[in-house]
Chain A
Amino acid sequence: MDNVLEVKGLSRSFPGFQLKDISFTLPKGYIMGLIGPNGSGKTTTIKLILNMLKRDGGEVKILGLDNIAEEKAAKAELAVVFDSNYFCEAWTAAQTEAAVSGFYENWDTNRFHQLLERFRIDPAKKVKDLSRGMQMKLMLACAFSYGAKLLILDEPTSGLDPVSRDELLTILSGYIEDGEHSVLFSTHITGDLERAADYITYINRGSLFFTGGKDEFVDSFRIVKGGPEDLTEEIKARLIGLRTHPTGFEALVRTEDLERMRRTGGKAAENRSVRGNRDSETVRFPAYTGALGKSSPVDSWTVEPATIDEIVVFTSKTPDDNGE
Chain B
Amino acid sequence: METQAATSPETVPSKTEKHPSGDSRFRILEVFAKRHGCRQDALIEILHKAQELFGFLDEGLLLFIARTLKLPPSRVFGVATFYHHFTLTPQGEHTCVVCMGTACYVKGADRLLATVEKASGIKAGETTSDAKLSLLTARCIGACGIAPAVVYDGEVTPRQTPQAVTERIKAWLNHGSH
On whether the two chains bind one another, the answer is no
